[in-house]
Amino acid sequence: MTSMPSAAASAPSSPPRTDFRRAGGLRLVGRGEMTPVFTLLVGLTFFDVLAFLAFPYLATRHLDSPWQDPSRLAFLGASILSSLVFGLLAGVSAERRCHDPLWFLAGHLGAFAAPVLAMGGFVESSPVLARTIVFGLGALGTILALAWFRTHPRTEPVPTGPILRALGKFFHASGNLWFGIGLLVLLTVGVFIGGWWETYYGGKSARYCVYTSPAFGILFLGFALSLVCATLRKFPFRVDQAGWLTVHSALVMMIIGAFMSYWGKEEGQLSLGEGESTSQFTLDTQTRLRVDEVVSGPDGRARLELVQESIAPFDVNPLTTEPNFVVPVSKGGTKLFDLRVERYFADARPKSGVANDGPRERLGVRAEFSAPRAPVAQEFFVDEQTTGQTIAGMLDVDVRRAPTPEAYSALLSGRDRQGHGRLVVRSKEGKVLLEQPVLPQPRPAGAEMAPARLDVEVAIPETEGLKLLAAVYFDNLRLQQGMTRPFDISPGRPFGPAVGLAIKGPMGDDVRFVEAWYPGSPRQISQRFYDLDIVYEFYTVPERAILFLPHPQGGVTWIFQPSGDEKPRTGPAVPGQELALGIPLRIRTLETFDRLRTWNDFEFVGYNPENQVIRVGVTGDDQPSSDPRWLRLAAGTQTVTKGGRDYVVRWQPTMVDLGFQLKLHDFHRDFYPGSDQERTFESYLRLVHPSKFKEGVDIKIDMNNPLRLDGLRLYQSRFSTAEGEMTVLQVNRDPGLGLLYVASALLVLGFVVVSFQKPFLRSLGRWLDRRGAAPGTRIAAALGAILLSFAGVLPGLLVIMLLPPGPAKGIGVAVIVAGLVLESLWVHFTLRPRLDPVAATPRPATAGVGVTP
Amino acid sequence: MIRTALVLVVLVGAACAQELDFGKSKIDLGTIRRLPVLEGQRFKPFDSMAREWAERITGKEKYHGIDPVDFFLHLRFQPELARKAPLIRLPPAHLAKELGFSEISQEADHVSWDALNGNQAFRTRLQEATAKKEGARTGDDTDILRLANRWRTFGAIAGLEGGFANGAEHRRGWMPFVAPSEIPKPGQIYEWLSPVELDHGGHPPEKIKPIDDALAATREAWIKDDAAAFATASKSLLDAAAALGYPAVEGFAFPGMERMDREIRLNLASPFRRAMWIYFTAFLLGLLSTVFPKSRILWYATLLAALGGLSYHAYGTYERTLLSGRAMIGTFYESMLYVSGAAALLGIIFELIFKNRWCNLAGSFIAVMLVWVAITNPDYMQPAISNLRPVLINNDWIHIHVPTIMTSYSMLGMAALLGELYLVFYVFRGARAASQQSLAKTMFWVIPVGSILAIAGIILGGIWADDSWGRFWGWDPKEVGALIMWLVFMVVIHGRWTGWLRDFGTAAGCVVGGWSLIWSYWGTNHFWTGLHSYAGTSNSTDIPTWLIVATIAQVAIFVPAILRWAKDRGNEPAVVADPPAASPPAKSGAAKGGRAPA
């Protein structure tokens, strides 16, 4: 919009030469119709944006297409803009010289060439040339048009064609205030829905499903259409519409800025440990499925070779957690297998389950207990490989497996209840040679952490003079590095019983620690000199405990060991039946497992992307897995076998190049005095940029000083100490931001002008009319009025900038408001009466109805 | 006498607490008020700490008129009696009933520490509430946690539980006035010790002894109700504490006794409470002056009353800003006081411009309501001067964004209230009455001003967000709430400019805008937690009682107004085409209203 004709229609300068009327050189058309040049401008703008930007972008949204590349989008945007400017130039010139306004298209040639150039790959290879071609085409078209007008002069205007007229009427109607109000109401409702959506489904989902949804896109495009049409249909513009025009063009700019952000925004994270360097960051908004093949390298070691990487096109959609999106994986044109994304949970919790189809014997019991006064029975699960648990705050429950039938009967009878088990020595063939009970002596006072003494030395039968020396007993053996002697970490509580022993023989002493045989743990067999297998069978039942153990003939038995000298109770554990414990606590077996298999799954928690997982199904796998295959974002892999080769599937955030390299030297944090709150996090980095800092430069990023480089901003966001000190920088790029800031300033200023300076501007307009001011003067006057409002803001801005940080800055806000008020008052009571003495006197109370400003 | 009578009320409530005597009028608390403490990361006089916790525990600024310091010392020095007295405020009725407290007494809304301590239902409920994630807690859970906080603090102050119950009787209880000899390392919290920990402060015994003795003497004098001895003992306690010295952490030093005295003065003045009553007077006078529109005296009286309230408000704001070292906009409580003050001020300014008696009425009504809500909800609002997250204080944007958006709230709130007034009087006077026309004109002058401030505030918030979070607009619930409010007022403005909305329609639109304002200011905090949480509220679907009352009142205003509108349809005055400043407001007000006193 370079030429902005702005002469009043009723300007009493010179009488029209023909029977048609002009304003600012443009022919005025009938009521309810938009000037043809502007009709073309609006129509082509929307055509270009939809055809060259929106549709290709949406069509290639889930692909690594160059149409997703911000630089290509920027080129197209710039091409559209320059073509519209040239087109407007050509169109207006044509109208002024009574030619067909369709000459607009001559200036607009560049826009049609731009997508062709983009598809040909010129934008990437020679950006300057591509831009020159587009710009040159527009210029050439305009110059040719101007040359044509010179050689073919006309005096009568060309009548507007039916299509252009219809379009003109349509656009005029689109600028209707009712349409605008309707859109405002729709937007209010939409935004309100978005707020509720966010409450239920989280911010990510709200952005995906509401705020960046096609419906919202159409709403914003509609807004842009309404605003642009409302503005252009006001032609010929008057000086007193300056504020109105400013506000509405600012809103159009905001919408353009929002679309630029939508098309070009990149948000992500960058984590760096001290000493590490990187030249990439991870996007928050896009993830990828990556398949690598496991190949053996030249040195014989396995490594991964990329097969395929594709954008994962699903997002938090609360309507379904089943994207059912299929990714065909192929290599060199041959299809390998299909990956189907069956589930996507934004926030998931690992969930495990049990089944009775395990490969090995493993006992597990699921049961429930109800305490005397507890209303609800609670479930518990114990199995052989995990440690037991305490239920109802008083009773230990565990699962054990007796190593031998003798041990089983010993357990059942409670014989060794207070004992410490026995050492069993077996020959290489498995024959029991010796059974020696472990009977520790009381510990001397003052040496509680020392092991209890056993001091037993017996000859091992059927050997050549070997002797077993059981020296010491530990309730809980702890061998700590740096300490010469092992010690007992919890005397009196046998959590990790062990015996220190030696086998004495002709070849010297074989000294070892034998830890207790423990369910689930591998047998402690140590063979150093002598081929003997020594097992420390420790199976005492703690007081007030229930043990489940497999019966040698099948089934599960339970033992309840009460406190005191009462006889232990026992019985079979049958699912659905209660255990006859003889105490108020009631326990009911629910399920028993003898070949327990535990499986891991994920369950849905919520829509906040915290612990994101997907479940993939594979069709065409040679060794199909019975377990569901889960992939956590940026963690974990799944392996698929096909044709004798292994493929590794991963799910990762998209990595984007920074364009430079960063290395973290040091991370530092500082606290507010007397508190545990961090004042700053500071990352000291070395930056190497291929063109700007070739030699590298040392920089610091802290909470108040982001790094701004190449349109990227890197903020100090947080830190993590999980694996050493690691800094987390937030990275973002937002091409629409500059426009947004300019538009914001214009919006507020224009709002002030439109609300409080309308009468003044009207007086100013009349004053200019009386002097027969040229259009240029009028534009200057209108801009001057806006600048005047800005002048009212200036003192406050100065105050804010000059005052020290802190509450005093609030004074600046008050000064801004006061400045605006004073400026308005001055304009009204001093300037306006001078320009327009008659109008400045108060009008009578009756006024016209519904005059749109 | 009144005090004694009130004490009797307490005594009647507590069967076991006959000896608990709050009527110790002889003792002068002036000295002990000044004892500096370090609590909640802030140096403050003992008076402030006592006030804060007495209010939190009892829910009242002065429970049965008892001085908070008096209350605190009773808890501390006579715990055996205090634990049996019903002093801890119960949660809302249905929860109290759930805990079984309503069975004890139908009327009592307070419970004794002992009764709460032995209540198994409370403990179970507390365990459940604590186990839940922060976002998953219901309003009831929050109430239980607040009750638990009262219960624990009571126990700590009285020295009934945990570490505070150790040692000699006079040394028990939570009262952090003993400065340790060493300053903390970076990243450690600077804390002062309670007398219980006297021996662990790293002080030599000769410095500890005076404190120990003075404390014992204070307690003894208190129990014996010996005014002279108490004065001496509390003086020596202050001196002994001061003798320990105040080791200064760089940037976090004890500000001196002057500040303590200043804060006590502010506490005793309680300016916001007084301002509220004066605003209320102004509101009543304003109502009267609309009934007697010819009376100049009433107009001046209204204006003077509003100014009086505002000056108390301003004094409080000034002192509080000085004491906290930051602008009074950091917490929800402070923002409410800001909005109410701004409404009162704008009411006065607009009244002086328009002279139509409506602006001041609306301004003082908003001021009364907001101050009342702010000072009567200690749990929700937390009126104590508190430290802000340093990240917030050291950011200039808070001082630019928050006042702008808050002023817009008070402006648009005023527009909404003028709309309500228009609807109320519309029923009686119709649209053509001069007073109604002047009201409509004022209303339409206020909307654009408020809207400009609102959009400026929203944009400034965006700039702040871009500056600190790296995004201008993130569709955060609070941002969305403000946007909705602005959009509603935009609909009203555009509707007015098309001529679609006349005076009645504009008024109704403003009322709708007012509800969107309530939504933006409070509803987004209360209902729309989403990812972010603000101002100490939980994700809740509870509808508070006041909202129901307000909705009913709103319907009661709307229905007759709409009925009258349906009757009068088409008989309305035409819309003044121009935006507000079409004619100088002062003159037009005088010309139209015809009842300006000047």
Query: pLDDT tens digits, residue range A809-829?
Result: 778 888 888 898 888 888 888
Please give the Cα distance from B437 to B422 (Å, whole number). 9
Q: What is the pLDDT of residues B218-232, one digit of tens each?
A: 999 988 888 889 999
- The minimal CB distance from A810 to the residues B251, B327, B453 is found for B327
Task: List CB contacts (< 8 A) between A734 and chain B.
Answer: 471-472
Put simply, the answer to whether B578 touches A191 (Cβ < 8 Å) is no
Q: What is the pLDDT, as a whole number, of residue B164? A: 82
pLDDT recorded at residue B254: 87
Cβ separation A748–B459 shorter than 8 A: yes
- Which residue of A lies nearest to B444 if distances are taken between CA atoms? A755
pLDDT tens-digit series, residues A579-606: 888 777 888 999 888 888 888 888 888 7
- Taking only the tens place, the pLDDT of each residue in B47-82 is 999 999 998 898 888 888 888 998 999 898 888 888
Q: To the nearest whole angstrom, how far is the Cα of B398 from the nearest Cα of chain A?
A: 9
Confidence (pLDDT) at B198: 83
Interchain pair B577, A188: CB under 8 A: no
Element (H, E) at A93: helix A70-96
Question: Which residues in chain B are contacts of A806 at CB distance < 8 A?
Answer: 326-327, 393, 396, 399
Contact B53, B153 (CB under 8 A): yes
Q: Which of A178, A676, A847 sits opposite B187 (nearest CB)?
A: A676
- Taking 3-state DSSP, the helix, strand and coil percentages for chain B, each rounded to the nearest 5, stand at 70, 5, 30
> Above 80 in pLDDT, residue A543?
no
Q: Which of A321-325, A386-390, A474-478, A816-820 reaches the highest mean pLDDT?
A: A816-820
State chain B's mean pLDDT as an integer.
83
- Give the C-alpha separation, A22 to A36, whole Å: 13
pLDDT at A524: 46
Tokens at B160, concatenated: 């009934």
For B459, the closest chain A residue by CA position comes to A744
* Confidence category of residue B21, pLDDT binned at 50, 70, 90: low
Q: Cα separations (Å) of A84 from A48, A172, A529, B203?
A: 9, 20, 93, 81
Q: Is there a contact between B187 and A734 if contact means CB atoms under 8 Å apart?
A: no
Q: Above pLDDT 90, what percent of chain A? A: 24
Please answer yes or no on whether B475 and A198 come within 8 Å at the CB atom. Answer: yes
Provide the pLDDT confidence category of residue A661 given band limits of 50, 70 and 90: very high
Q: Tell which residue, B178, B185, B109, has the closest CA to residue B147.
A: B109
Contact yes or no for A608 and B531 at CB 8 A: yes
Instruction: Return residues 286-315 of B near A (CB < 8 Å).
Output: none
Interface check for B236 against chain A (CB to CB < 8 A): the answer is no
Q: Closest chain B residue to A733 measured between Cα atoms?
A: B470
Confidence of residue A375 (pLDDT cuts 50, 70, 90): low
| pLDDT band with cut points at 50, 70 and 90 for residue A138 | very high
Compute the nearest-CA separation of B498 from chain A (Å). Answer: 5
Contacts from A291-297 at CB under 8 Å and sequence distance 24+? A291/A329, A291/A339, A291/A640, A291/A647, A291/A648, A291/A649, A291/A650, A292/A647, A292/A648, A292/A650, A293/A331, A293/A645, A293/A646, A293/A647, A293/A648, A294/A645, A294/A646, A294/A647, A294/A648
Calculate mean pLDDT across residues B253-264: 90
Would you call B530 an interface residue with chain A, using a CB distance cutoff of 8 Å?
A: yes
B584 touches chain A (CB under 8 A): yes
What pLDDT is stored for residue A11 in this prediction?
43
Q: Which is nearest to B315 in space by CA: B269, B347, B260, B368?
A: B269
Following DSSP, what letter does each residue of A34-45 receive, concatenated?
--HHHHHHHHHH
* pLDDT recorded at residue A61: 82
For residue A849, the distance in angstroms to the closest alpha carbon of chain B comes to 6
Closest chain A CA to residue B585: A842
The DSSP-derived string for A596-634 is -EEEEEEEEEESSSSS-EEEEEEES-SS--SS-EEEETT
pLDDT at residue A673, rounded to an integer: 78
A265 or B163, which is more confident: A265
pLDDT tens readout for residues A97-130:
889 989 999 999 999 999 999 888 888 888 899 9
CB contact under 8 A, B452 and A752: yes
Q: Which positions in chain B touch A754 (Cβ < 8 Å)?
A: 579
Of A257-261, A837-841, B503-507, the poorest mean pLDDT is in: A837-841
Q: Find chain A residues with C-beta within 8 A of B390's C-beta.
A: 672, 675, 677, 679
- Please write the tens of the pLDDT for every residue from A447-483: 777 788 888 888 888 888 888 888 888 877 776 655 5
A415 pLDDT tier (thresholds 50, 70, 90): low
Q: Point out the residue among A178, A824, A850 whose CB comes nearest to the CB of B581.
A: A824
Cβ–Cβ below 8 Å for A671 and B186: yes
Selected residue of A681, A742, A751, A822 to mutate for chain B interface (largest B Cβ count, 10 A): A751
Per-residue pLDDT at A454: 86
| Cβ neighbour number for residue A209 with a 10 Å cutoff | 22
Most confident range, picked from A414-418, A722-726, B566-570:
B566-570
Question: Does residue A527 register a pLDDT over 60?
Answer: no
pLDDT digits (tens, 9 = 90+) for B156-192: 999 887 778 877 888 888 999 988 888 888 778 888 8
Closest residue in B to A813 (Cα) is B400
Q: What is the mean pLDDT of residues B511-515?
A: 95
Statement: residue A10 has pLDDT above 50 = no
Q: Is the pLDDT of residue A421 over 80?
A: no
Gyration radius of chain A's alpha carbons: 42
**Of A679, A708, A744, which to mutate for an interface test with B (greatest number of B Cβ within 10 Å)?**
A744
Q: How confident is the model at residue B19 (pLDDT cuts 50, 70, 90)?
A: very low
- Asked whether the predicted pLDDT for residue A724 surpasses 80, the reply is no
Distance CA A492, CA A481 (A): 23
pLDDT at B531 over 70: no
Q: Does residue A609 surpass a pLDDT of 90?
A: no
The highest-confidence range among A82-91, A486-495, A577-586, by mean pLDDT, is: A82-91
Q: For residue A562, is pLDDT > 70?
A: yes
Q: What is the mean pLDDT of chain A?
A: 83
- pLDDT per residue as tens digits for the range B332-389: 889 899 999 999 999 999 999 888 889 999 999 999 999 998 888 777 777 888 777 6
Contact B487 A676 (CB under 8 A): no
Lowest mean pLDDT across A58-72, A394-408, A478-492, B350-364: A478-492
What mean pLDDT is predicted for residues B285-297? 90
Q: Please give the pLDDT value at position A567.
A: 73
Show the DSSP H helices in A298-356 as ranges.
Answer: none
Q: Which chain B residues contact residue A203 at CB under 8 A?
A: 474-476, 530-531
Q: Which long-range contacts (CB under 8 A, 24 or more apart) does B47-50 make?
A: B47/B263, B47/B264, B47/B267, B48/B263, B48/B264, B48/B267, B48/B384, B48/B385
**pLDDT value of residue B108:** 67
How far are the Cα atoms of A552, A722, B138, B187 from residue A671, in angstroms, in the given order?
64, 20, 34, 5
Report whether pLDDT(B217) > 90. Answer: yes
Taking CB atoms and an 8 Å cutoff, what residues of chain A touch B477?
195, 198-199
Chain B residues lying within 8 Å of A672, measured CB to CB: 251-252, 390
Q: How far is B525 from chain A (nearest CA, A)?
A: 11
Q: State pLDDT tens for residues A738-753.
A: 999 999 999 999 998 8
Identify whether the C-beta of residue A720 lies closer than 8 Å to the C-beta of residue A704. Answer: no
Q: State whether A203 and B452 contact (CB < 8 Å).
A: no
Whole-angstrom distance between the N-terminal and C-terminal Cα of chain A?
A: 22
Residue A845: predicted pLDDT: 44
Per-residue pLDDT tens over the stretch A140-188: 999 999 999 999 988 888 888 899 999 999 999 999 988 999 999 999 9
Q: What is the pTM of this model?
A: 0.79
Partner A, chain B 480-509, Cβ-Cβ below 8 Å = 480-481, 483-484, 487-488, 490-491, 494-495, 497-500
State the average pLDDT over residues B14-29: 57
Predicted pLDDT of residue A403? 63
- Chosen from A227, A607, A672 to mutate, greatest number of chain B CBs within 10 A: A672
ipTM of model: 0.83
Residue of A nearest to B247 (CA): A674
Contact between A673 and B591 using a beta-carbon 8 Å cutoff: no
10 Å CB burial of residue A617 (0-12, 13-18, 19+) is middle
Give the residue with greater pLDDT, B330 vs B345.
B345
Confidence band of A378 (pLDDT split at 50, 70, 90): confident
